[in-house]
Amino acid sequence: MTETRKTWLITGASSGLGKALAEYVLDRGDQVVAVASSTAATTELASRYPQTALAVRLDVTSAEDRAAGIRAAEERFGGIDFLVNNAAIDFVGALEEQEEADYRRLFEVNFFGAVALTRAALPGMRRRRTGVIVNVSSMDGLASLPANGYYSASKFALEGFTEALWQEIEPLGLHAMLIQPGSFRTGIEHRTKASGAPIDDYEATAGAFRAVLDRLTPEMFPGDPVKAAEAIYAAATVPDPRHWVPLGSDAYRRIGAKLDQLRAEFDAGKDLALSTDFPGSADNAVL
> How many domains in the chain?
1
**Domain for residue 67, yes or no?**
yes
pLDDT at 256: 98
Residue from 14, 15, 138, 154 carrying the catalytic annotation: 14
Tell whether the model's pLDDT for residue 103 goes beyond 70. Answer: yes
**Domain for residue 201, yes or no?**
yes
pLDDT at 219: 74
pTM of the model: 0.94
**Domain for residue 66, yes or no?**
yes
**Domain for residue 263, yes or no?**
no
Residue from 6, 19, 103, 137 carrying the catalytic annotation: 137
**Domain for residue 285, yes or no?**
no
Could you read off the pLDDT of 198-225 as tens digits, one per residue? 999 999 999 998 888 878 777 777 889 9
The model's confidence at residue 105, banded by pLDDT at 50, 70 and 90, is very high
pLDDT at 215: 80
Question: Which of 67-81, 150-164, 186-200, 234-248 is least confident?
Answer: 186-200
SS (H, E, C) the chain: CCCCCCEEEECCCCCHHHHHHHHHHHHCCCEEEEEECCCHHHHHHHHHCCCCEEEEECCCCCHHHHHHHHHHHHHHHCCCCEEEECCCCCEECCCCCCCHHHHHHHHHHHHHHHHHHHHHHHHHHHHHCCCEEEEECCHHHCCCCCCCHHHHHHHHHHHHHHHHHHHHHHHHCCEEEEEEECCECCCHHHHCEECCCCCHHHCCCHHHHHHHHCCCCHHHCCECHHHHHHHHHHHHCCCCCCCEEEECHHHHHHHHHHHHHHHHHHHHCHHHHHCCCCCCCHHHCCC
**Domain for residue 205, yes or no?**
yes
**Domain for residue 88, yes or no?**
yes
pLDDT at 43: 93
What's the whole-number mean pLDDT along residues 41-50?
A: 93
Residue from 151, 183, 195, 233 carrying the catalytic annotation: 151
What's the whole-number mean pLDDT along residues 47-59?
A: 96
Q: Is 137 among the catalytic positions?
A: yes
Residue 53 domain boundaries? 7-253
Could you read off the pLDDT of 118-177 as tens digits, one per residue? 999 999 999 999 999 999 999 999 999 999 999 999 999 999 999 999 999 999 999 999
- Across the chain, what does the average pLDDT equal? 94
Q: Is 103 among the catalytic positions?
A: no
Q: Is 155 among the catalytic positions?
A: yes
Q: CATH no. for residue 33?
A: 3.40.50.720
pLDDT at 99: 98
Give the Cα separation of 287 and 274 in Å (integer): 15
pLDDT at 221: 79
pLDDT at 192: 80
Residue from 150, 155, 195, 233 carrying the catalytic annotation: 155
pLDDT at 1: 40
**Domain for residue 153, yes or no?**
yes
The model's confidence at residue 3, banded by pLDDT at 50, 70 and 90, is low
Q: Is 150 among the catalytic positions?
A: no
